[in-house]
Amino acid sequence: MKHTALAMLLVAGFGAALSGMAQASSHRESPFLTQNPKVDGTDFYMFRSYESGRSNFVTLVADYQGLQEGAGGPNFFLMDPNALYEIHIDNNGDAKEDLTFQFRFKNNLQDLQVPVNGVNVSVPLTNTGGITDPKSPNLNVQESFTLTVVKGDRRTGAAAAVTNADTGAASFDKPVDNIGNKSIPNYAAYAAKHIYNINVPGCSTPGKLFVGQRKDPFVVNLGGTFDLVNIKAPATAFDPAAENKGLDSLSNKNVTALELELPISCLTSGSDPVIGAWTTASVRQARLLNPSPSSDNMSATKEGGAWSQVSRLGMPLVNEVVIGLKDKDKFNASKPSGDAQFATYVTNPTLPALLEILFGSAGVKAPTNFPRKDLVTAFLTGVPGLNQPAGVVASEQLRLNTSTPVTAAASQNRLGVIGGDNAGFPNGRRPGDDVVDVALRVVMGRLCTLNLGCAPADAPAGSIDFTDGAYIDATYFDNAFPYLKTPVPGANVQ
């Protein structure tokens, strides 16, 4: 398929900036988050909705708590009531948030009991019977959350509650995780009762909201990658079967998804159709272990002080495979406006050199066109004519041109822009975009083979169709909000 020079420049720049995306997008990517998985942001998606009749909306999906085992009871994967989860929108290109959507969670212990020898005793489980509806009397911990929109600075701007458009309530129920089909006979139907129509202050058209466990949407050969890229050496001739070897290490894992579908007009500013976005999670600066927790099982710590950001995610895989180990926690605590401090990681990617060491005997050679100054524009500003906002300040964000026509699910190309589909990654990111294969091919010099910004001699391996063998496309997902699939159950009735 023939591609425009602009499209190739965009994706080549982005792919090389991410220096080879062969790991999970952002699962356990920093030392602090390995100790605090409840605030680990794993993936972020932003795309024009391709559900029929919803193309004037943008869907935002922020995933947290990766690598969830379906059978991970008895407490499963509650969100942290002491944390602040946020989705930030920059709609004028100045590297600062203009809109922030803040999620706060609450765990409501019901203390269900059963009689034992004439004594009512508290049960040790999440539920005592079947669950079909929100606030089921059989559910021991009923999780709820609030959503606030802040205009301007996320800590000092004007804040207002997002409300249920049908009831006016400012609190929303979150479905319990997919315990198993004896506890929840029809999880899809149960979860669907937690999709809400919402009123966002300042927005005249209602949006949609869903927060709950979903099948992890990311695919990657995770184990092979961490073992010094222990995968089969890439073939010099195209082998389509190699792309779908069934090597997805996340095939049986779940995440918790915070999803919004909002009108484009409520996210953009003026006539500029481009928006940038990123997610964060923050915790209180002070935390004390409580030596005498109360019997509500919710007070093992005492927390207070100002918010301290500990997780950040915009473009996929940046902190995972670009930022050096010594700076991973620093990146997670940073803001897009300060991204100049990480420029060296962008202009001097390390993974191509590693691939050359590992696969040199198979003819793999890293590109030699250093420094990669041409990549800075694509990575930190977006590309003019595609997804660069007016008056842009260089910063790492996921950027979406909301005026790019929607591609229906059946016509989407999993390789996004380099596959000829400008509605896909890296112009935003849809669930079915295979960011791993896209980036692996580009980072090793696909641009150079087309004489776009570098010469074929600069990239001896540029024509190789690198793949991690973990396949994904739009058919892996639903064609309507909330798009992500029903989570893997903890157990099935035998």
Does residue 172 contact residue 144 with C-beta atoms inside 8 Å? yes
**Is the bond leading into 37 cis (omega within 30 degrees of zero)?**
no
Predicted local confidence at residue 355, as pLDDT: 79
Task: State how far the Cα of 184 lies from the Cα of 133, in Å rounded to an integer.
Answer: 10
Give the H/E segment covering residue 446.
helix 446-449
Residue 194: per-residue pLDDT: 98
pLDDT at 431: 97
- In this prediction, residue 16 carries a pLDDT of 34
The angle at the Cα of 26, spanning 188 to 328, to the nearest 5 degrees, equals 155
- DSSP E strands, 176-273: 196-199, 207-215, 253-263
- Residue 53 tokens read as 């009749």
Q: What is the pLDDT along the chain (494 residues), one digit of tens a residue?
A: 333 333 333 333 333 333 333 344 667 777 888 889 999 999 999 999 999 999 999 999 999 999 899 999 899 999 999 999 999 999 999 999 999 999 999 999 999 999 999 999 999 999 999 999 999 999 999 999 999 999 999 999 999 999 999 999 999 999 999 999 999 999 999 999 999 999 999 999 999 999 999 999 988 766 666 566 666 667 665 566 677 776 677 888 999 999 999 999 999 999 999 999 999 999 999 999 888 887 765 678 889 999 999 999 998 877 777 788 899 899 899 999 999 898 887 778 777 777 788 888 778 888 887 865 545 565 678 777 889 899 899 899 999 999 999 999 999 999 898 888 999 998 999 999 998 888 788 778 776 776 666 778 888 888 888 887 888 999 999 999 999 999 999 987 65
Cα torsion at 64, 65, 68, 70 (round to 10°)? -60
Instruction: Look at residue 10 in the predicted model and tell me its pLDDT.
Output: 33
- CA separation for the pair 314, 424 (Å, rounded): 15
DSSP run (H or E) holding 16: helix 5-17
Confidence (pLDDT) at 317: 74
- CA quadruple 388, 390, 391, 395: dihedral positive or negative? negative
Q: Is the peptide bond before 31 cis (omega within 30 degrees of 0)?
A: no
Q: What is the CA radius of gyration of the chain?
A: 23
Interacting residues of 192 by C-beta distance below 8 A, sequence separation 6+ = none
**Where along the chain do its domains lie?**
33-458
Tell me the two tokens of residue 297: 């099982």
- Residue 34 burial by CB count (10 A; 0-12/13-18/19+): exposed, middle or buried? exposed
